[in-house]
A and B are shown apart, each in its own frame.
Chain A
């Protein structure tokens, strides 16, 4: 099926049959069938992606651009085809708005350095939210240190973890240069109304960045509809390889930005004393890029669109709601974080009197892969008054039977620790 074939209607998808596409899922861990519920950290890779990587290295591998020979032409074509595909995947106006990065973190750092150094001055404010991942906090702290800018945070509303949007207009007031926020919270499962938020910021001339690490492979992304200036995502959380990501930037904004790193691939002309650079996006891609990563990401985008991202979004929410309801039945013994309804496919929780790491260790012995800790959300954890949470995060290849087993294991853990 080509990516242009319309995806099937969601009712016709046999979700558990898709598991056959993921070789890694079919194994035992500690003598138990693997139940992989750590998808917010990284997703597993379908055979189509593994095969694309293998074929690239077996047939086409060479360095890109400026090559005259056949293999270099093929590698360049494949690399640039991935860029075009990425533009289509997020509905950018042009492939020139797509910069390949190592992942979301590098995308945000690129904006903080290249855009930030030119546009942020002492006394300016960078507005973030209390649910940001460290990767959307620390780059701005470094920028603030360099420039004398201030950081401000839009608060969340307690354990249900919604942004306090009633405060937004007031906080978008004086001196805010940039609003950077996450599309989906990696520890709360909150889905933020980014289009509405970006519209409110844009009306005041504030630049916006959306962290789409958790949303990109889970729902349709349309940067024109969101109306953001920048959007960053990671390939490995959406069936692609590790080490490749995308930064989208509005063309007119990218054109005003100085380079991020210097090196080969990004220059027009180099003299001993000074150099001139290429136009975006190549200006921001110094050095040999992750060519195979881009090829793998291309295959991942095709794979996801064959299923249909709106189908994946619906299925995600069904799994999230199913898990949330099942965990709620554990009653007093559990504290749940994030919204009651309209959540993404992940749940964060704490069992009464059992530390998250003990939960994760015991679950692992049952073959259930969870994550416990601060999830790179230390400020959020402090706000919630906890040190850590345990988290189960789903993808389309997870089943309700797996969630049943996961909840059953939690019951065993409660019994084991006598909570």
Chain B
């Protein structure tokens, strides 16, 4: 009945949107960043606990649509234990994937977002958490908004 939607709402996405992982405030966070999508009111806050160059722990809080919540949830799983440089690389892969549908290299579970590019109105939902994590890594404390980004 929903074949046409399975590109966007894959089972993994539905699962993470209903039961988001690492969905709490992080005690001992070394930095955090806010992400905001003014078009739909989505708000999320991402917490990072860095150990030198390494993401020791990560979590998020907030509210949003299924895509933005699942994206943040899967992000926390993908990024935990990675170095700053690795996170930057994953960000670039995800960005390319949600903009064009092209999957470059091994993105693991994040490949479920490869169908998002067919829904231009939803690209911002998928990328919001990724902009927030990059801002948190920079640690300048500036909130990010989907309306100030080239998405």
Query: With an 8 A cutoff between CB atoms, is A355 at the interface?
Result: yes
Residues B40 and A361 in contact, CB atoms below 8 Å apart: no
23 inter-chain pairs at a CB distance below 8 angstroms, sorted by A residue, are: A354-B66, A355-B40, A355-B64, A357-B67, A357-B122, A357-B125, A361-B5, A361-B119, A361-B121, A362-B5, A362-B9, A373-B40, A373-B41, A374-B40, A374-B41, A378-B41, A381-B41, A387-B40, A387-B41, A412-B1, A417-B14, A417-B18, A418-B18
Query: With an 8 A cutoff between CB atoms, is A227 at the interface?
Result: no
User: CB-CB < 8 A to B9: which residues of A?
Assistant: 358, 362, 416
User: CB-CB < 8 A to B8: which residues of A?
Assistant: 361
Query: With an 8 A cutoff between CB atoms, is B65 at the interface?
Result: yes
Q: Closest CB of chain A to B106's CB: distance in Å?
A: 28
Closest residue on chain B to residue A359 by CB atoms: B65
Q: Closest CB of chain B to A372's CB: distance in Å?
A: 7
- In the bound assembly, the distance between CA atoms of A355 and B17 in angstroms comes to 11
**Interchain CB contact (< 8 A) of A387 among B1, B2, B18, B43:** B43
4 more CB-based (< 8 A) A-B contacts, given A356-B65, A357-B122, A358-B66: A355-B40, A361-B121, A365-B4, A381-B41
Query: With an 8 A cutoff between CB atoms, is B63 at the interface?
Result: yes
Interface band, chain A: 20 to 34
Residues B4 and A30 in contact, CB atoms below 8 Å apart: yes
Question: Can you list, as one digit per residue, whether each of A206-228 has a CB less than 8 Å from chain B (1) or not (0)?
Answer: 00000000000000000000000
Q: Closest CB of chain B to A377's CB: distance in Å?
A: 11
Which parts of A362-395 form the interface with B (CB within 8 Å)?
362, 365, 372-374, 378, 381, 387-388
Interface residues of B, CB < 8 Å — how many? 22
Residues A358 and B67 in contact, CB atoms below 8 Å apart: yes
Question: Can you list, as one digit per residue, whether each of A328-371 has a CB less than 8 Å from chain B (1) or not (0)?
Answer: 00000000000000000000000001111110011001000000
- In the bound assembly, the distance between CA atoms of A416 and B3 in angstroms comes to 11
Closest residue on chain B to residue A381 by CB atoms: B41
Question: What 7 pairs between A and B have smallest CB-CB spacing?
Answer: A387-B41, A355-B65, A357-B65, A358-B66, A388-B41, A357-B40, A358-B65
Question: Can you list, as one digit per residue, whether each of B39-56 has a CB less than 8 Å from chain A (1) or not (0)?
Answer: 111110000000000000
Which applies to chain A's interface (DSSP): helix, strand, loop or mixed? mixed
Residues B121 and A388 in contact, CB atoms below 8 Å apart: no
User: CB-CB < 8 A to B65: which residues of A?
Assistant: 355-358
Residues B40 and A388 in contact, CB atoms below 8 Å apart: yes
User: CB-CB < 8 A to A353: which residues of B?
Assistant: 18
What is the interface of chain A, defined by CB distance below 8 A to chain B?
30-31, 353-358, 361-362, 365, 372-374, 378, 381, 387-388, 412, 416-418
Closest residue on chain B to residue A362 by CB atoms: B5
Known: A357-B122, A361-B121, A365-B4. A417 touches B66 (CB 8 A): yes
User: CB-CB < 8 A to B2: which residues of A?
Assistant: 412, 416
Q: Closest CB of chain B to A374's CB: distance in Å?
A: 6
**Interchain CB contact (< 8 A) of B63 among A373, A374, A381, A387:** A387
Could you say which of A358, A365, A374, A416 has the most chain B C-beta atoms within 10 Å of its C-beta?
A358
Closest residue on chain B to residue A355 by CB atoms: B65
User: CB-CB < 8 A to A355: which residues of B?
Assistant: 40, 64-66
Q: Closest CB of chain A to B5's CB: distance in Å?
A: 6
- In the bound assembly, the distance between CA atoms of A177 and B8 in angstroms comes to 52
User: CB-CB < 8 A to A358: which residues of B?
Assistant: 9, 65-67
- In the bound assembly, the distance between CA atoms of A417 and B43 in angstroms comes to 21
Which parts of B115-132 form the interface with A (CB within 8 Å)?
119, 121-122, 125
User: CB-CB < 8 A to B67: which residues of A?
Assistant: 357-358
Residues B39 and A365 in contact, CB atoms below 8 Å apart: no
Closest residue on chain B to residue A373 by CB atoms: B40
User: CB-CB < 8 A to A418: which residues of B?
Assistant: 14, 18
User: CB-CB < 8 A to A378: which residues of B?
Assistant: 41
Known: A355-B64, A358-B65. A373 touches B121 (CB 8 A): no
- In the bound assembly, the distance between CA atoms of A381 and B4 in angstroms comes to 32
- In the bound assembly, the distance between CA atoms of A375 and B69 in angstroms comes to 22
Residues A356 and B40 in contact, CB atoms below 8 Å apart: yes
User: CB-CB < 8 A to A416: which residues of B?
Assistant: 2, 5, 9
Q: Closest CB of chain B to A231's CB: distance in Å?
A: 30
Residues A361 and B122 in contact, CB atoms below 8 Å apart: yes
- In the bound assembly, the distance between CA atoms of A418 and B125 in angstroms comes to 21
Q: Closest CB of chain A to B91's CB: distance in Å?
A: 23
- In the bound assembly, the distance between CA atoms of A31 and B1 in angstroms comes to 14
- In the bound assembly, the distance between CA atoms of A356 and B4 in angstroms comes to 19
- In the bound assembly, the distance between CA atoms of A362 and B18 in angstroms comes to 17
Which parts of B50-91 form the interface with A (CB within 8 Å)?
63-67
User: CB-CB < 8 A to A357: which residues of B?
Assistant: 40, 65, 67, 121-122, 125
Q: Closest CB of chain B to A26's CB: distance in Å?
A: 22
- In the bound assembly, the distance between CA atoms of A357 and B42 in angstroms comes to 10
Question: Can you list, as one digit per residue, whether each of B96-139 has a CB less than 8 Å from chain A (1) or not (0)?
Answer: 00000000000000000000000101100100000000000000
Closest residue on chain A to residue B1 by CB atoms: A412
Which parts of B17-44 form the interface with A (CB within 8 Å)?
18, 39-43
